[in-house]
Structure formats: structure tokens, C-alpha cells
Structure 1
Amino acid sequence: MSSPSNVFDNWHYKHHFVFVKDEGKNICVQCNLCKPKINHLSLSKMSTSNLLKHLRRKHADRFDQINSKRPKKGESSKVNSLVLNFILEEVQSVSFLEQPSFRKLVEGLSGRPLDMDRATLIAEVEKAFSIMKARLVGKLNTVQSVCTTADIWTANNRSYFWMTCHWIDESELVRKSAALACTRLRGIHTYDSISAMIHEIHSSYNIENKVGTIVRDNGSHLVKAFKDFPVDGYNEDNGDMGIFEDVGTILKGRCEEDVPSFLPSFQKCVCHLMSLIVTEDLLLAVSQSESSQVYYSTMAKCSVLWNKAHHSQLALDAIQDMGNMSSIVPSVFRWSLEYSVMQKIASLTESQLSDVCTQLEMSELQALELAFLKEYVEVFKPLAFTLDLLQEEQHSFFGLVIPTLLTLKTKLTNKKACSRFLPDVISAILDAVDTSFQQLFVCPEAKLATATTPQFRLWWLPEAERDDMVKLLVAEIAHLAIKQEFLEEFAPIDSMGCQPIESEEFFCYGPGSESLDDPMAEVKKYLEGSNKSLGCLNEFPRVRKLFLKYNTTLTSSTAVLRLLSHKGKLTLQSNCQTDEYFQRVVTLQYNLKNGL
């Protein structure tokens, strides 16, 4: 009779005992060292402490001899550390450590028994999480402003609240990211519970006064449209991926008067708004245009092509050999991938496309359909590029949004003039962009974010509005100066009881000299510059502070989805691990990957 799964199965002293019987929560074993005397011992399935005490008391000499052959502490610690890193990086459950094949692999490579058990692993994970959180809190204490993203994920009858944090490194001016929480949600997801949880998470990292905005998507049913979410992790017939609930929708249930002051403002995900345009407005416009018939016939034949590739390895091999294409199967939830596939088909020569259709025994694209396909790919290339650009995280700043949208409108307008099949569709897309981003185009924060980005400065603004923008920049600099003076009110003073004064601040060089101590002079010199690199902001400290404040906001909320981008995170479905362990491991994996 074999033993059930329990901690005894993987105990490094197991070979000194023989399993006798299962007693429910306990098991009964026979000590080999006591033979020929029959000595049955009972122990809990969750602890081997009784057997360890027995070895120490009854077989002390033999126990000391066994321990002398065990690996030294330093050697054992190194093996345990490597195992822990593997568990964290691959987001594996506790039960993975207890698999005989895994333990044999580690023991075979290290040449010694693996002494890490379930309890040790859980304790090490908790210790690593505490160290990571302390390090993250220390880092965030030095940051001027942060942006967070939030989402709710439900799978296997469990709901989790996910939150990530993002800021701009002040020395390198690149974006940094960290996971703040993966917290179990119990009960009904109400406004009060979600807002309280947001505040609790912010407070636990001492950032409640630094969070400028929380970026969210505005409709959970389309989150899979984002490019960075793995395609092979989603299956329409499989509920393993769970569902996402929009945090913003839950929090919109209250009137403005009821919104607590500690709750930061919410910023709609720009990338998601653009995804809605290409998945809803674009398809609606195409279906109602004069070219709808040729569109549907073209898409039907393209669908036959990629469906054959999806269901037949021979067809996929033929396409790859003749067309030199590595992938041909799009996702119905991702327009950008569908566009990429159509782009690959359009890139084939007529002879290549004819050979592919003949090989797959399908109807060839007619001349009109091929012309439509090539125009579709060419016209909407800026749209695909915009989606990709807005999903980029590390170097994508909030000031990128307005120039990107304005450039997109300009390019689409230029293509409309020479379009044969899609002029009405282009007009509909332009109207959708204006409608969806109407508030953003006039948002002062978005304008300030763009104006403080050296790549753009004020070229995107009409001439008549530039003077007002300059005044707004100067006013914001003055506001930051007042805030800084307040923070330095109790700064150390010299022995004479006076605040120290720098010599350059004391002397006056006359009316002909302009100093950057004047906010207007700094703004003017910055706007007259031509250097587009972020490094030039080091010459303009006040403008640099405004850049850090207003460009911290993300353009996309997909960062929070990256917490679920590893298939190992779905091991929760086995229900073999506690909520605390799952939360710790997922958060650690994300932060270790980001160097925290």
C-alpha cells in the first residue's frame, strides 16, 4: 500500500521509516532503526516533528552520524536559493516542489538531498516578499510622482484586485514599473470596498500623496485586444483566463460629492479608446461604405487562407515555404494582429499568392480584391503604428498622446485624397478620433505633458494658442516653487539664525542680463531650443520637474495585465495553494523581472 501525498513523502529522513496505514489527518509508520522491535509512530500529514524527535531521543548516535554526511549549510543554502529563484520566476505552486521528478532532478544535479520542504519554501517566499517591499518603499520615497493601474480578475470562483505602480526615473528619465498588490477580493465588488482597497494599498507604500492618476480601461470585454496580452493564453471555450471587471465602472456609481478626497483621479486608457475605434467604428464604417461588398469578399478569402493554416499543419508549412511567412493566424479580438496578417498577404507577389491558393485548393483573389487589400493595408498603416506606439510602456509618456493623434489625423487626411475604396471609412475614423479624444485635446494636464516633452514643445499648437500655453507653463512653475518653499520652510539654518544665501542669488548684473532664475526666461529658452532628446531637460530644472509630474501617467492600462502574462500564474486553477502564497509569488515574479 502506498502513502498518500503529504510532507512525509519528501522528507529527507523518510528512508528510516516504512509507511503502515492512513489514519485520516495522520499517518502511521514503522521505524526501521527500531527493528526487529515493532514500533509504530503516528504523525500529522502536515508535520514530521514527531519522527524527528524520535530519531534524536532513541537513535541519537545514528542521527549524529547521518547529519555529519549531510551537506554543509552554505552548500545547502545555495541549492535552496536556486530552487527558490526558479519557483518565483516560473510562478510555480508549492506542490511543484514536492514532485518526485523535480526533487530527483535537483538532487541529481547537486549531488545531495534537497532539504527544502513546503514550510521552508513558504517561509522563504514570505521573507523575499518582505525584503522586496521594503526596497520598493525606499525607492518610492525618492520619487516625485507616480501613476498606478488597477483591474479586477476573476477565475475559478476567486476574484483578485491587481495594482501596478509606474514612475519616471529622475536620473535616466526612463519609466520604471512595479507590482503593488495582487489581493484577494471577497464578497460583492462595491464602490466602498474597491476605493478602500485602493487607499489601503497606496498607504502601505507611502504613495497616497504622490499618485497623480489611476489608469484604467473603460470596458473589460475588449482587454484581449491589446497586443501585449498573449494570444495562446486565451481560448474562447476555456474559462481558465477568467474575466476582467472594469474598476472605473464600479467607482462611477457614486456622485462627485460622495467621492472621498483620498481617491486619485482616473484616466481612461488611451490605447483602449483607440482599440475601440478600430474594433467598432472601423468595422461599422467599412460595413456601411460603398466598398463593403469587395471588403467582405476579400476578408472571406483571407479567412479561408488563415483558417486552413490554423487547422492544417501541411497548409501552414506550404504558406511558410512559398510565402516565407512565420505566422498567418490572427485573433478575432486583436485588430492589430489581423492587420499584420493582411499586410503579409498583401506583400506576396501575384505569382506567390496564386501558388498558395492553388496549393490550398481555394479561390484566388481577383484583381479588384487584391487592389482593395493593398489599399486597406496602406491606408491603415498609421493606425496600426499608433496602436503599437501607445502600448509601449518604458519610453511612452503621456505627452506623446496629443502629437500622435494629431499626426494620425494628418496622415489619414492625406490618404483620403487619393483613396479609391476607403474615403468614407477614413472620414468615419477621423470623426471617431475627434469624438473619443475630445476631452483629452483640451485637457490642461495633457497639454502640459506635451509641452514639456522636448520632442514636441509647442509645434503641435495653433499659433493663436501658444502664448496662453507659455503663460500656463510659467504659472505651473510658480506653483511648484511655492510648494517647494513650503517644504523647505523648516530647512536647517546657519549659526547666525539666517537662511544661507548663495552669492549668485545676491548679486544683480543689470537689466541686460537674463537669468534662468526667472521662470519666464527658462520657459522661453526651453521653447526656443531644438534639441529633441530628454537629456536637454537637465538644463531646465523647472521644466524638468513639470515633465516628471505630467508625463508619469501611462498611455495604456495593459501594464496591469502583464501580471497575468505568464501561463504559470494560472496554476491557481489547481487550488493547491493558498491565496497568500499566490499573491506573494505573482508580485515577486513581476518585481524581480523589473529589477526590484
Structure 2
Amino acid sequence: MEATAACRRQSSKEGSYNHLREFYDKVGENGNNLTFLCKLCPPAVKKKISTSVTSSANLKRHIELKHPVSLSRYVQANKKSKDSQDRSSTQIPLTAYSNGVDVITQPQLDNLVVQYIVGDLLPLRKVESPAFINLIKGLQPSKKVPSRKKVQTLLNKKYKENMCELKTELSEIDAVCTTADCWSAVNKAFIEITIHWLNKTDVSKRHSVVLACRQIKGAHTHDVLAKLLTDVYKEFEIHNKVVCTVTDNAANFVKAFNCFNFDQTKSEDEDEQVSAFAAASESSDEYAMEPEPLSGLEHSSLPPHRRCMAHTLNLVAKDTEKVSDERYRTMSRAVFAKASALWNLVRLSTTASDAVEEKLGIGFVVTNDMRWNSVFLAMERLSRIAKLTTKAEMNVAEVTPKNDATPLHDELLLHTVSDEFGFCRFSPQEVEFIHMFADVMRPLALALNILQAENNVFLGYLAPTIVQLQCHMNDLLYESRKPTAVEGLITCQPLIKTILESLSTRLAGLLEKREHILSAMLVPRFKLDWVQDEEKCMQYRLMLRREFQTLDSDDSAARESGQAQSSGGSDKKDPAESFFRFNKNTQVHKKSEVDAYLDAPTTDGFDEYMQFSKLRRLFIQHNTALPSSAPVERLFSIGGLIFRPRRNWLADANFEKQLILNANKKF
């Protein structure tokens, strides 16, 4: 029987990819992974793609990136195979597994129901639905469906257990980073706070949980936000453990941290940018309730503040709209006018969207003001579409050096879409501008994506990312000044200059900050590779040595204090012990831990910290912080699924419990 099952599984592996023989040949198998050879790529390339037996996403991605003309045929082949599998599949009755025997207890059933409610963000009244009751009774006839009141009690209990576990965990952590942001829905406003810390033994692992989601009543002034933040930090007893709080560049947050900072100093930027704008933004709603005075704030202090770098880079991207060069403005206005006409039609008309999908095999990406990279993503997709031609199977990889890799302008499929909807075609110069615009903005978009990550990014990524971004932009500027530069890149030269000027203005002094330099050097991927000046390399190396010595002095002081307490001052030291120093040469010529770490090659892993325990402590100290507040902004989507217009009666406490339990289910 086992041999038959194995044969059946093997045949299912083989059969699940038979419909793709037009595009791929299977050449290898390793456990749950299969290797295919692309038939569309030139034979000399021998492009191999590895994919899982349960997913063909890698195969589709290769077709989409390298052979976009064949994408529509690939999708149709996949669809036909899926339809045939659906018709041939049969459903196994649940009774075949249960055999009338109860497999779970009543508490287990209750717990599963709560997990279902929390996991799918459902209202508690779901347990009173006749369909849900019939489902539970059909699966477990002898069990009782928990009532709405019972589920509420279990939800409260689960929330308390989650908070107790979190407080216990935080009591053993020395350094944490928090992110905060405001969010509103159904005429209610909330402040959401997340907390992040690094594993003490494996610093590559970052733990992230939601700390609180509290309603804001009245105007969102700086003192109201300061009190809410301080109350949460006091509740979890982390006030002295927060290395920094990351927020966006909103004036109320900036003013809150400037006014209530722990040492009453400027947290990250000068107060000049806050004064007038903060006053205007806080008094913009003339009907808003005045907040109560900050009398209940016992500890009127907040941890150091850090502005979200992803938000700052988004502002850099916004600055590109202010390019004053007449040639660039004329070209960009014409391109974006035609592109916006297509985007708006596809967004508003399902018929137009279907027609585009049918003709091109892929659709347009529509801009969205709520997504920072939306304009770049829309132009990048338009650039890809502007390379598709009416030729059957024109493959860029097959173009020889003697041929031009750029498709003929009159054969672009983009023109057929414009003609069908009655829009003006893109001229050859405008098509070239689309490609160059995407190439110029791509480094900025990639930098933003790197810094707004959560699990695999640290504060030490900030300085190297900005340095690399500036290098990419300077390279593009150099290429645009060459006599052989293409017309589209020359047209985009003012765009490149604007990005460089905006980076210089908005990030002034950022690369010289001590915490950014130390945190970058402590990331094994960078060390000192991102520093181009030899003199600065020596200065930064000396800086890390001094920071390491500070850690040594702290350890020595703690050790001496412990020895004094253990001896109680009763034992007398032997004077001869401090006099004789034979064979105890203190000046041992041995490479220090800092030099051994910096002189070793860079690596993507963190195995070095297994032998450099003190440097590992420094890494946790300087890299616990995140460069952006993106983690807290991702909660908005969860909150929107819970706090819908039909659930506007939901109590604030229940809303917070459901959101936290859903977001912290992996904790």
C-alpha cells in the first residue's frame, strides 16, 4: 500500500507540470523541489529555474520577466490545467476521518472557535449564526457551540494571558524600540504602538508585537500624544528601556518629543521646522474639543525620537514634482497626462480593464496616494508594457548584438490599447522618457523598500543605504552628461539633480551622526565597506574602539562592585599580590576584538557574533532601533478589516483586544 501511495505521489508530481511542456523541460528533482530548463531562452543560456512541487510561482515569474509576450499563453495553459483538475477531483467525506468518535474536548472546541474569530477578524455574533451552529454540530454533534457571552469571556481571558506573557518577556529585555502612528476610521481616531527587540543570543532574529491601540479623544495635539505614549510605556514598565520611538514627520509627533524629551534636548532635528507648522496643524479644526491639561502625566518625559526614514524618502520622491526645467516639465506633463488617462479608465471601467488584460496579458498598475511607491510601480509597469510588440515571440534574450534590442515603435502593443480607447499615442521620445524615468526612480524605490522592512533590517542599514543611493544617482548623472547619452536620460537630468539636492537637504548631517556610524559598522554585511574616505575609515574604527572600551569599563566597574559586595570589606588584600608582576606582561600584542571583527571579510550572516560576545552586546544596543515606522502602519489594514462601518458600534476595548490578538498570534 505504501509503495502504491508513493507511486501515486510521484505521478502527481509529474502530471502537475505536464501542461507546461511548451515552456519547460524537467531536468532534476531534489526532495520537494523540481528543476526546469526554459525552452524559450536561447540554448546557449541554459536557464534553469527551481520551484516547489506545490507552487509554480517561480516558473511564472521567469516568463513574466524574460518572456512577457508568452505570458498570456502561459496563463491560459495554467487555467486549463486547473479547470481539468477541479472536474476530476473528488471530496472525501468528513465521516471517513471521525468514524463517529469525538476527537476534541469542549475546551478545545471553545479555544478553536476563539482562534477562528480572532484569526479572521469576525464579529462575535458569528457564533449565533445558524450556518455556523450547523457547521459545529455537524462536525461535533456531542459538543455545545459556545455562546456569544462565552466567547467574549474567553477573548478577555486570552487577551489577559497575552499581555501577561508580553510583560514577562519585556521584563527580561534590556533594549526595545517602539513605533507609533495615528489612524482614524468610522469617525474615531486611535494611536497604535508596536514594540521590537532583538534576540540576545541570535541577533538576526527580531521580535515584533503590538503594544497598544488606544482611542484619541479630542484634538491630536502634542501633549495628548505625549500622555498616551507615556501611559503605555508606564503600563508595560519599559520607560527606561526604549532606545527610541519611530514616528512619521507629522508636526504633532515632532513637537511632542521636542517638548517632552527625556533630557529636554532636540531629539533628531532642529525645532525650526516645527514651530509654525505645528501651531497651524494643531489648530486646523476649529470645532475640535480642547484636550485636558497634561496634569495626569507623572513622568512628563519621552524617549529619544527618530523620524521615519521611509517617510522622508517619500518626501524626496514628492520633491521631484517641483522640477523647474522647462524641457523636463513639458515632456513629463505630456507623458503623465496620457498615462493618467489610461490609468483612470482602467480604474473606473471593468470593460476597459478586461480589454487591456486580453490584449497585453498583464494590466496597468494604478497610482495610489496611500502607497509610497505607487507612482514608480505604475511607471515601471508602463515601461514593461511599452516593450511589448505585435511580433509573435520577440524575445529580448535572443537579440544578437548586431540587432537593436529596442522594439520598433510602430509595433508596440501599447499603441493598440491607446487606439482602442481613442487616446493619443505615445511618441518615440515619450516612450524613451518612460523607460528612463523608471530607471532613474528605481534606486530610490529600492532604498525605500529596504528601509521599510521589519524583520531583516536594522538601524545600521540606514547610512549604507543612503550612501549607495547617492552613488547610484551620481552614476546616472555622470552617464547623462556623456556625449553618447540617450535623449531620454538627458531629459531626465534635472530629475536626477533634484533627487540629489533633496537628499542633501532632507538628510543633512545624517551620515555624520554617531549612532548611524556605529550601527552601520556593527552590521557584518557592511562594516566599513560603505565608507569611501580612508581618513574617515580610521576615525570610525577609532570610534568603535572607544565605544568598546566604554563597555569594558562598565563591565570592570560592575565586577569590582560585585567583588566588594561579596567580600563585605572584611578580608584584607595581600600587599605582595599587587607588588610582584613576574611573567604577567599586560602589553600583549594581540589583535583586539574590534580589529579582528572589522578586518574579517563582510558576510550576510551573524555567525561572527558567536565569538565576539561584547560586540554582540554593542550590536543589540545600537541596532535594536528600526529606520522606519512602517510596522505600525501595516496595522492600519488589520484595523480597517475589524472596524468597518457595519461594526461602528464595537467598543474601543474589544477593538483593541481583537487587533492585538490577531497581530500577536505568532508571539
TM-score (norm 2): 0.67
1:582 positional shift: 1.2
- Among candidates 518, 522, 528, match of residue 452 of structure 1: 522
2:508 counterpart letter in structure 1: Q
1:449 positional shift: 0.6
Deviations 1:543-593 (A, max 9, x none): 22111111111111121122222242223762333221111111111111x
For residue 439 of structure 1, what is the aligned residue in structure 2? 509
For residue 296 of structure 1, what is the aligned residue in structure 2? 333
1:274 positional shift: 0.2
Call closer, same or farther: CA 1:572–1:95 in 2, change over 3 Å.
Answer: farther
1:112 positional shift: 4.8
The answer (yes or no) to whether the contact 2:222–2:255 under 8 Å persists in 1 is no
- Among candidates 280, 303, 308, match of residue 269 of structure 1: 308
2:354 matches 1:282: no
* Corresponding residue SS for 1:166: strand
For residue 377 of structure 2, what is the aligned residue in structure 1? 340
Call closer, same or farther: CA 1:471–1:507 in 2, change over 3 Å.
Answer: farther
Q: Within 5 Å, which residues of 2 pair with 1:318-467?
A: 318-347=355-384, 348-349=387-388, 350-417=411-478, 418=480, 419-461=489-531, 462-467=533-538
Identity %: 24
The answer (yes or no) to whether the contact 1:572–1:582 under 8 Å persists in 2 is no
Call closer, same or farther: CA 1:189–1:375 in 2, change over 3 Å.
Answer: closer
Measure, in 1, the Cα distance between the counterparts of 2:473 and 2:263: 42
Call closer, same or farther: CA 1:454–1:79 in 2, change over 3 Å.
Answer: same
Range with greater deviation from structure 2 (129-138 or 363-372): 129-138
2:237 matches 1:198: no
The answer (yes or no) to whether the contact 1:79–1:110 under 8 Å persists in 2 is no
Aligned residues: 487
Measure, in 2, the Cα distance between the counterparts of 1:497 and 1:575: 70
* Corresponding residue SS for 1:291: helix
Give the gaps of 5 or more residues in structure 1: 1-70, 221-245, 499-505
For residue 145 of structure 2, what is the aligned residue in structure 1? 115
Measure, in 2, the Cα distance between the counterparts of 1:529 and 1:117: 62
The answer (yes or no) to whether the contact 1:189–1:250 under 8 Å persists in 2 is no
Which gives a bigger RCO, structure 1 or 2 (Cα 8 Å, sep 6+)?
1
Measure, in 2, the Cα distance between the counterparts of 1:191 and 1:357: 50
Measure, in 1, the Cα distance between the counterparts of 2:226 and 2:140: 49
Call closer, same or farther: CA 1:360–1:572 in 2, change over 3 Å.
Answer: closer
The answer (yes or no) to whether the contact 1:168–1:176 under 8 Å persists in 2 is yes
For residue 133 of structure 1, what is the aligned residue in structure 2? 163
How big is the alpha-carbon RMSD for the aligned residues of Structure 1 and Structure 2? Answer: 3.0
For residue 247 of structure 1, what is the aligned residue in structure 2? 253
Deviations 1:86-140 (A, max 9, x none): 1111222333333333333333333356431222112111111121122222322
1:261 positional shift: 7.1
1:170 counterpart letter in structure 2: K
1:217 positional shift: 0.1
Q: Within 5 Å, which residues of 2 pair with 1:71-110?
A: 75-110=105-140
Call closer, same or farther: CA 1:380–1:74 in 2, change over 3 Å.
Answer: closer
* Corresponding residue SS for 2:322: helix
For residue 644 of structure 2, what is the aligned residue in structure 1? 571
For residue 581 of structure 1, what is the aligned residue in structure 2? 654
The answer (yes or no) to whether the contact 1:93–1:571 under 8 Å persists in 2 is no
Call closer, same or farther: CA 1:148–1:257 in 2, change over 3 Å.
Answer: closer
Measure, in 2, the Cα distance between the counterparts of 1:438 and 1:546: 26
Call closer, same or farther: CA 1:496–1:253 in 2, change over 3 Å.
Answer: closer
2:505 matches 1:468: no
* Corresponding residue SS for 1:438: coil
For residue 350 of structure 2, what is the aligned residue in structure 1? 313
- Among candidates 607, 629, 654, match of residue 535 of structure 1: 607
Deviations 1:212-260 (A, max 9, x none): 000000038xxxxxxxxxxxxxxxxxxxxxxxxx533444456997686
For residue 622 of structure 2, what is the aligned residue in structure 1? 550
Call closer, same or farther: CA 1:320–1:470 in 2, change over 3 Å.
Answer: same
TM-score (norm 1): 0.75
Measure, in 2, the Cα distance between the counterparts of 1:497 and 1:314: 91
2:651 counterpart letter in structure 1: T
The answer (yes or no) to whether the contact 1:168–1:548 under 8 Å persists in 2 is yes
2:157 counterpart letter in structure 1: K
Call closer, same or farther: CA 1:90–1:490 in 2, change over 3 Å.
Answer: farther
